């Protein structure tokens, strides 16, 4: 029985929910326009997901099917109930703009004659435009989509100029991140060029301009008025901004965070920190332990809350007076305010800051964790769910929630290389840890192979606000093709590419040196080609490549160990038995834990030789438990590399930064 017949049968039986699901299958198949229309109409009438019907109607209309039926239906159901609201918003915007000094046209198009109509799609500023003259629906538009889609701040030699900006989010972003002319002592308006007056008027049905006009930062240039850019405000309006002195950036002026995420340990994050250090439009510190950030913020908060006077606060936090005073007097002080203050008072964070810059600096933040550990769980629908306490902490943090604008970038390094470097670091840390003090927590090597394959933080929920405006950048590209990579990355982050600061690696403005353990800073490719053979064997690296094969393909890495052959449970078990290198380092560091175990028999402690044999047996049994856990995870992963979030929504690969071929200095790394 075909899907349409099943849907009709269920509908005739009054099984509305099941019928809607069946009709959804009919619509997805798109085999028969008549069946699609029938399904869309049923779902709409039966209280199903109206968005399915809405989308189906638009697709049918644009393909030329049933136009005489669909347009009246769409108008009645989706457009007409919202006319009053749209007209009210349009007239309100027109009234406010008619009084605005930096819009030079007043011949607003009558509402009934607007060349673009907007059909609301949802309750979250989502619309689909309709063009009556062309008899077609356009693409879905979300006016509050939290994405900055272009490099507005590419060139700051002149005032910002942007064409046809119709996003509410981006208009607010520009208004919030371009400094007032009075604050930097020079003309610094935001010039918005709109290429068609009728289209501009049409979009006034959906935008909210009142708060954007209050600061008088915006200059609207319509069509040929672009020739006026930039305007001499002293000559034309009698305003001489040069009479003003430069003001320090205020704590709440900073609304934009660039979140440098930690995909995993030893992933090349330090390199990108060093590249962006000293940038004139950033306040930036080296990676900070998230736990230490939380602790420092709490200490500052306690000082401020307990200080009866500003003098007392200054004695407690030792900041520049103007910053401490601003933070002390802020109403509804937040964790974000304190972190911004911590950055602004740091000479390292502000080492390269251009105080006369046209834009507010962004806060460049890389919260660091000792390790990123994911747990793998199968839900009741047999879907694989990934969970990590580290990222739960970030999602719950008010620090992140209180930044209005977040750009995210994530460095990635070849997984087997990053793994070897991580084991090396863990083992070195374990050996150098001062564990002589009785009762002190021991530093050990963890099961880094399994942690590596379960760490799929390159897969994201596309609706997650923290990753909504995010990109992945490969460490190897940054090292081998720095100009192409960093130019593209600066553009994505909406920063100017600063040749002077981004062609060298610094910390607090000072060059980074080669370290005692051989870390090669700057643009040396040494770390690209290191294999760390003594810290990872072929079985372990074969295993990693196989279970991350989808990421290898998506992000352009060739296999070096996996031979392309099928892997079943028996083959996986054979590989796990070959995990001799990781097991060696685990045993080597766990040994000191088990050596502290005292062994008694009948209430009497046994001799040293017998105690050591028991300790060795306990250690071997403990390591054997890891093999059982490895096999458990393998059975789940062999079902397929498909993952969902806690709400059951599919995760997808984070998009990768695209490089300009014309800027490549070396072949793309594979």
For 16-40, what is the mean pLDDT? Answer: 91
pLDDT at 177: 98
pLDDT at 257: 97
pLDDT at 622: 86
DSSP letters, 294-343, are: HHHHHHHHHHHHH-SSHHHHHHHH---HHHHHHHHH-TT--HHHHHHHHH
For 68-96, what is the mean pLDDT? Answer: 96
Cis amide leading into 505 (omega within 30): no
- Examine the pLDDT at 636 and tell me if it is beyond 70: yes
Classify 78 as helix, strand or coil.
helix
Per-residue pLDDT tens digits for 261-271 = 887 778 888 89
pLDDT at 437: 47
For 539-568, what is the mean pLDDT? Answer: 96
Q: How many helices (H) and strands (E) does the chain have?
A: 30, 23
CA angle 316, 322, 323 (to 5 degrees): 60
Task: Tell me the β-bridge partners of 427.
Answer: none
Per-residue pLDDT tens digits for 171-230 = 999 999 999 999 999 999 999 999 999 999 999 999 999 999 999 999 999 999 999 999
For 387-392, what is the mean pLDDT? Answer: 72
Burial of 133 (0-12, 13-18, 19+ CB in 10 A): exposed
**Regarding predicted confidence, which is higher, 90 or 22?**
90
What's the CA gap between 400 and 452, in Å, rounded?
A: 26
Which tokens sit at 460?
């994201």
- Examine the pLDDT at 434 and tell me if it is beyond 60: no
Q: How confident is the model at residue 515 (pLDDT cuts 50, 70, 90)?
A: low
Structure letter (DSSP) for residue 107:
-
pLDDT at 575: 97
Q: How many residues does the chain have?
A: 670
Per-residue pLDDT tens digits for 351-385 = 999 999 999 999 999 987 766 666 667 777 777 77
- Examine the pLDDT at 302 and tell me if it is beyond 50: yes
pLDDT at 403: 95
Half-sphere exposure of 285 (CA within 13 A, CB side): 21
- Examine the pLDDT at 44 and tell me if it is beyond 90: yes
Per-residue pLDDT tens digits for 227-258 = 999 999 999 999 999 999 999 999 999 999 99
**Of 446, 392, 444, 442, the residue nearest 419 (C-alpha):** 446
What's the CA gap between 233 and 418, in Å, rounded?
A: 55
Structure letter (DSSP) for residue 178:
B
pLDDT at 353: 96
Question: Parallel, antiparallel, or unpaired: how do β-strands 126-131 and 117-120 relate?
Answer: antiparallel
Query: What is the Cα gyration radius of the chain?
Result: 30
Q: What is the pTM of this model?
A: 0.92
Per-residue pLDDT tens digits for 154-164 = 999 999 999 99
Name the least confident of 7-21, 208-222, 566-580, 608-622: 608-622
């Amino acid at each position: 029985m075909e899907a349409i017949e099943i849907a009709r049968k269920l509908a005739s039986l009054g099984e509305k929910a099941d019928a809607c699901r069946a009709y959804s299958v009919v619509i997805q198949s798109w085999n028969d326009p008549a069946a699609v229309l029938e399904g869309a109409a049923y779902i709409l009438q039966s209280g199903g997901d109206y968005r399915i019907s809405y989308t189906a109607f638009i697709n049918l209309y644009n393909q030329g099917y049933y136009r005489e039926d669909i347009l009246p239906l769409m108008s009645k159901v989706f457009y007409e109930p919202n006319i009053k609201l749209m007209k009210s918003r349009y007239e309100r915007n027109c009234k406010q703009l008619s009084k605005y000094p930096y819009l030079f046209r007043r011949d607003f198009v009558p509402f009934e004659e607007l060349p673009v109509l907007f059909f609301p799609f949802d309750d979250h500023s989502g619309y689909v435009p309709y063009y009556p003259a062309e008899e077609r629906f356009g693409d879905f538009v979300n006016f509050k989509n939290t994405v900055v889609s272009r490099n507005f701040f590419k060139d700051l030699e002149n005032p910002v100029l942007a064409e046809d900006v119709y996003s509410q989010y981006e208009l607010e972003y520009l208004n919030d991140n371009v400094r007032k002319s009075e604050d930097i002592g020079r003309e610094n308006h935001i010039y918005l060029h709109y290429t068609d007056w009728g289209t501009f008027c049409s979009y006034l049905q959906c935008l909210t301009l009142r708060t954007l006009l209050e600061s008088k930062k915006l200059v609207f240039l319509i069509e040929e008025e672009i020739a006026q850019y930039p305007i001499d405000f002293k000559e034309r309006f009698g305003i001489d901004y040069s009479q003003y002195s430069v003001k320090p950036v205020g704590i709440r002026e900073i609304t934009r965070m660039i979140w440098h995420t930690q995909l995993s340990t030893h992933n090349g994050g330090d390199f990108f920190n060093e590249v962006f250090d000293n940038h004139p439009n950033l306040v930036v510190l080296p990676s900070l332990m998230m736990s230490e950030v939380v602790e420092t913020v709490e200490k500052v908060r306690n000082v401020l809350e307990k200080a009866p006077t500003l003098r007392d606060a200054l004695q407690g936090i030792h900041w520049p007076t103007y910053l401490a005073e601003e933070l002390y007097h802020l109403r509804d002080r937040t964790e974000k305010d304190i972190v911004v203050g911590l950055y602004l008072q740091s000479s390292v964070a502000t080492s390269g800051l251009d105080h006369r810059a046209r834009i507010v600096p962004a806060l460049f933040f890389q919260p660091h964790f000792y390790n990123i550990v994911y747990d793998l769980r199968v839900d009741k629908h047999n879907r694989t769910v990934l969970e990590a306490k580290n990222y739960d902490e970030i999602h719950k943090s008010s620090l992140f929630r209180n930044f209005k604008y977040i750009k995210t970038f994530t460095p990635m390094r070849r997984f087997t290389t990053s793994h070897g470097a991580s084991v090396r670091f863990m083992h070195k840390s374990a050996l150098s840890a001062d564990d002589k003090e009785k009762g002190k927590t021991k530093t050990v090597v963890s099961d880094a192979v399994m942690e590596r394959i379960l760490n799929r933080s390159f897969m994201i929920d596309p609706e997650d606000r923290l990753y909504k405006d995010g990109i992945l950048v490969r460490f190897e590209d940054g090292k081998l093709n720095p100009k192409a990579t960093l130019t593209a990355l600066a553009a994505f982050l909406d920063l100017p590419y600063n040749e002077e600061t981004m062609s060298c690696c610094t910390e607090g403005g000072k060059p980074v040196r080669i370290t005692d353990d051989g870390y090669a800073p700057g643009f040396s490719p040494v770390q690209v080609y290191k294999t760390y053979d003594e810290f990872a064997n072929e079985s372990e690296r074969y295993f990693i490549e196989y279970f991350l094969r989808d990421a290898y393909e998506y992000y352009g890495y060739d296999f070096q160990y996996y031979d392309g052959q099928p892997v079943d449970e028996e083959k996986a078990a054979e590989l796990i038995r070959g995990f001799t290198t990781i097991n060696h380092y685990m045993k080597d560091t766990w040994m000191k834990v088990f050596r502290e175990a005292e062994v008694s028999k009948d209430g009497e402690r046994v001799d040293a030789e017998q105690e050591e044999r028991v300790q060795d047996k306990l250690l071997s049994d403990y390591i054997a438990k890891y093999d059982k856990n490895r096999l458990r995870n393998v059975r789940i992963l062999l079902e397929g590399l498909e993952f969902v979030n806690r709400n059951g929504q599919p995760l997808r690969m984070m998009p990768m930064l695209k490089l300009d071929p014309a800027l490549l200095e070396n072949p793309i790394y594979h």
